[in-house]
């Protein structure tokens, strides 16, 4: 029994050694397998950080106003006897628009002209008699006063008649007609709007801190919703000399030529002012920056070599400080140097230290949109 017990114990010990050794060899084999098995590199699109001088732009919003715009009204009361314009037509300065009944005034004018003629003849006779010492100087003075009064009455009546023939004060486009033939108009009644569309004002505001970089003569570009994709250009002509105490903004006015007459007063406009250029800055594509609550970051690509000298590419997340965005690129104030390569597309599949391969596909094109700070 003792011998059998020794044999069985030895066999069990040998079996235990074999099981432990097998498990150890299997664990080591698994470790070596996973250590040698690496995931394939992730394909990413790569862009290079550039040092470039970006346009220094100041953006805002404003609205358009006509340089010359007026609601044509009547100075005197009266009945409309003629309408001499067509709504929506173009007129020249001095073109008649409406005629108000003026027959009594025309009669008064004829009477005053006759009185002027009689006063002129009486004055001539008084002067002739006075020159021959046949008449007193007082008669000459009275005749002169009568003649002047008659002329003044003629001038006054002609002015009243001119007030009853409403004319266009400048070249422009007429709006909707607001009166009817035979209508009695009170002084100040609106007849029609008149707008000169050849030039327009652009009114917008800028913050107090931007006042130092704004000057008369700087170029302003605008876009309007009515004509997407088109840009219109003008010049700053006036800067309000006072800062608003309520908003701390300064009012700015630019003048734009409107040769095609497609821009209209009242339109909303997105404005961009060209400022003096700033020093060169480092930029990367907008798609290369990850914006998170923990900060902005990019994935930098670095080249490493193994023991055999074989080169490979890896990525590391690097936190950066960003600046303005313009033309699809972002200014990087710290964290990236010119010439550094960053991942432009494919960041969602990356982890720090991930192996990457540069994709043959180029980075996405810059979106077609106006420059924005």
Percent of the chain with pLDDT over 70: 93
Task: Give pLDDT, residue 370.
Answer: 44
Instruction: Report the mean per-residue pLDDT for the chain.
Output: 86
Q: Using the predicted structure, report yes or no on whether residue 77 has a pLDDT greater than 60.
A: yes
Residues 283 and 353 in one domain: yes
Question: Is 291 inside any structural domain?
Answer: yes
Question: Is 106 inside any structural domain?
Answer: yes
Distance between CA 318 and CA 284 in Å, rounded? 13
Question: Is 178 inside any structural domain?
Answer: no
Sign of CA dihedral 46, 51, 53, 57: positive
The tokens describing 143, both together, are 């005749």
Q: What is the CATH number of the domain that holds 157?
A: 1.10.287
Q: What is the pTM of this model?
A: 0.64
Q: What is the CATH number of the domain that holds 336?
A: 2.40.420.20
Q: Which of 163, 187, 211 is the last residue of a domain?
A: 163
Distance between CA 227 and CA 146 in Å, rounded? 66
The tokens describing 46, both together, are 């790569």
Distance between CA 277 and CA 330 in Å, rounded? 17
Distance between CA 44 and CA 357 in Å, rounded? 6
Looking at the 3D structure of the chain, how many domains does it have? Answer: 2
How far is residue 259 CA from its own chain's centroid? 19
Question: Is 352 inside any structural domain?
Answer: yes
- Poorest-pLDDT segment among 53-67, 85-99, 194-208: 53-67
Question: Is 149 inside any structural domain?
Answer: yes
Q: Which domain holds residue 316?
A: 42-53+279-358
Residues 49 and 108 in one domain: no
- Which is higher by pLDDT, 217 or 350? 217
Q: Which of 117, 146, 163 is the last residue of a domain?
A: 163
Query: Helix, strand, coil % (nearest 5) of the chain?
Result: 30, 40, 35
Which helix (H) or strand (E) segment holds residue 356: the answer is: strand 355-358
Question: Is 10 inside any structural domain?
Answer: no
The tokens describing 98, both together, are 């409406």
Task: Give pLDDT, residue 94.
Answer: 92
Q: Which of 163, 180, 201 is the last residue of a domain?
A: 163
Q: Using the predicted structure, report yes or no on whether residue 69 has a pLDDT greater than 50.
A: yes
Closest CA to 335 of 290, 303, 293, 304: 290
Question: What does DSSP say about strands 42-48 and 232-239: parallel, antiparallel, or unpaired?
Answer: unpaired
pLDDT digit string (tens) for 136-189? Answer: 888 888 888 999 999 999 999 999 999 999 999 999 999 999 999 999 999 999
pLDDT digit string (tens) for 237-277? Answer: 999 999 988 888 999 999 999 998 999 999 999 999 988 88
- Which is higher by pLDDT, 358 or 309? 358
Question: Is 205 inside any structural domain?
Answer: no
Question: Is 242 inside any structural domain?
Answer: no
Instruction: Tally DSSP H helices, then E strands, for the chain.
Output: 3, 21
How is 55-115 classified by DSSP, letter by letter? -EEEEEEEEEEEEEEEEEE-SS-EEEEEE---TT-EE-TT-EEEEE--HHHHHHHHHHHHH
Residues 286 and 353 in one domain: yes
Closest CA to 178 of 69, 68, 87: 87
């Amino acid at each position: 029994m003792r011998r059998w017990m020794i044999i069985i114990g030895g066999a069990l010990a040998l079996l235990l050694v074999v099981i432990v050794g097998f498990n150890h060899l299997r664990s080591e084999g698994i470790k070596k397998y996973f250590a040698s098995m690496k995931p394939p590199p992730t394909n990413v699109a790569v862009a290079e950080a550039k040092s470039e001088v970006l346009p220094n732009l100041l953006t805002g919003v404003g609205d358009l106003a006509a340089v010359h715009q007026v609601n044509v009204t009547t100075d005197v009361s009266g009945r409309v006897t003629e309408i001499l314009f067509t709504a929506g037509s173009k007129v020249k300065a001095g073109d008649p628009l409406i005629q108000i009944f003026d027959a009594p005034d025309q009669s008064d004018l004829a009477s005053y002209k006759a009185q002027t003629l009689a006063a002129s003849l009486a004055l001539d006779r008084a002067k002739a008699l006075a020159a021959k010492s046949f008449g007193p100087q007082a008669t000459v003075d009275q005749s002169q006063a009568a003649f002047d009064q008659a002329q003044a009455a003629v001038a006054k009546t002609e002015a009243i008649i001119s007030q009853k023939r409403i004319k266009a004060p400048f070249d422009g486009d007429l709006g909707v007609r607001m009166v009817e033939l035979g209508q009695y108009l009170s002084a100040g009644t609106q007849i029609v709007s008149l707008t000169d569309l050849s030039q327009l004002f652009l009114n917008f505001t800028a913050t107090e801190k931007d006042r130092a970089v704004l000057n008369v003569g700087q170029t302003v570009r605008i876009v309007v919703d009515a004509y997407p994709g088109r840009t219109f250009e003008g010049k700053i002509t006036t800067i309000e000399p006072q800062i608003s105490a309520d908003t701390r903004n300064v009012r700015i006015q630019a003048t734009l030529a409107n040769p095609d007459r497609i821009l209209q007063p009242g339109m909303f406009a997105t404005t961009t002012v060209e400022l003096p250029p700033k020093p060169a800055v480092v930029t990367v594509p907008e798609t290369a920056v990850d914006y998170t609550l923990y900060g902005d970051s990019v994935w930098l690509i670095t080249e490493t070599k193994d023991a055999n000298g074989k080169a490979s590419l890896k990525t590391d997340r690097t936190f950066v400080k960003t600046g303005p965005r313009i033309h699809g690129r972002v200014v990087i104030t710290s964290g990236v140097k010119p010439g550094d390569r960053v991942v432009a597309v494919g960041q969602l599949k990356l982890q720090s230290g991930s192996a990457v391969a540069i994709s043959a596909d180029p980075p996405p094109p810059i979106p077609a949109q106006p420059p924005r700070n």
